[in-house]
Amino acid sequence: MRGIAPGAYRFDRTQGTLISIREGSWGLALQSAQRNDNINIDLSAFVIHVVDKLDFRRSHRMIRAYRVQQMFAGAALDAIMLTSSALGAVSHPVLGFGASAVDRLYAIVDSSRGALAQICVGVARRGGYLGCSIVS
């Protein structure tokens, strides 16, 4: 992305800006967190991880808090995809990534927070390859 150095950033809601967590090339590091070898993270302009508290509290039905958290993560993915589309970019949610590996990259292991969702964002362009393909 123009004007932004490669690395990892977090969004600061109070300032409405991105704050650097770590600089450097993240393509290979993120690639190693994928469960499928045919996903090429480097073809994305950027990758967004939705990070939140890991809420494993159990209700009397044993699953409520976790299910609600999944719905919030899904709503965040929808918002990212709609915003990307409005700006002329393409986006693709990725299922099956190694959340614990991503947590290590962001240095949030044992912090009660973790990566809940991942979405790759890029620009649609002509080419003889798939930017992100998933085979189950």
CATH code at position 82: 3.40.109.10
> By three-state DSSP, how is residue 116 classified?
strand
73 and 119 in contact (C-beta within 8 Å)?
Answer: no
User: Considering the entire predicted model, what is its pTM?
Assistant: 0.76
At 134, the pLDDT band (50, 70, 90 cuts) reads very low
The model's pLDDT over 81-99, given as tens digits with 9 standing for 90+, comes to: 999 889 888 888 887 788 8
Expressed in angstroms, the distance from the first to the final Cα of the chain is: 30
- pLDDT of 73 strictly over 70: yes
**What is the domain extent for residue 68?**
7-122
Q: Is residue 1 part of a domain?
A: no
Q: Is residue 103 part of a domain?
A: yes
Would you state the pLDDT for residue 135? 42
Question: Does residue 123 contact residue 87 with C-beta atoms inside 8 Å?
Answer: no
Share of the chain above pLDDT 90, in %: 9
Q: Count of domains in the chain? A: 1
> Residue 82's pLDDT is what?
92
Whole-number pLDDT of residue 59: 60
133 part of a folded domain: no
Residue 20 covered by a domain: yes
In a domain, 134, yes or no: no
In this structure, is residue 47 part of a structural domain?
A: yes
Residues 6 or more apart whose CB falls under 8 angstroms from that of 42 comprise 27, 31
Give me the chain's average pLDDT, please: 80
Q: Mean pLDDT over residues 48-68, rounded? A: 74
Least confident segment among 38-42, 62-66, 113-117, 126-130: 126-130
Q: Where residue 71 falls among pLDDT bands split at 50, 70, 90?
A: confident
